A and B are shown apart, each in its own frame.
Chain A
């Protein structure tokens, strides 16, 4: 089946730093989504991307839909303690009902 690989697997950063993570696939996707999972909760949608090359922001978060349609990137600027959690990418092929989720990037923020 399709696989989405996220990197890094985990990261430990200082408060105020910018964060970058990415998601790559061997398959093409028509939609890319980024979710955040707080400890003990289910994932919540952060950003949705629908076109190759699209760059979309949500507050301090910016995500991009890769030109090849096989990757996506998420940046967090000026990280704060509440950014702690696991970030998942997810991809959707055309006409599908099923999202394919990435392996997740765990973010820890040091005060």
Chain B
């Protein structure tokens, strides 16, 4: 991921709709990717992760898609709820025990 130091892009969705948050990463050697949710004043909270030998992984209401060809990662949230409102960060690493490189984040706002 790359942090560009600008105001966070915002995605505004209606409650119940599906949300898609996108992320680009730059390191071709990255083999682990993870999505975090960060609420105001709190630390990042793990949502879902994926290894580079997979292109899709599903969790509860969330799906992560990985396209290594174009170095793109996306997070899909089904039936978005007000409690999903937060900033979402993607991060990647070159392997176990390595640092995470974070993207710049996307603010998700859910309208009731």
The answer to whether A and B come from one shared complex is: no
A interface with B by C-beta (< 8 Å): none
Spell out B's residues near A (CB within 8 Å): none
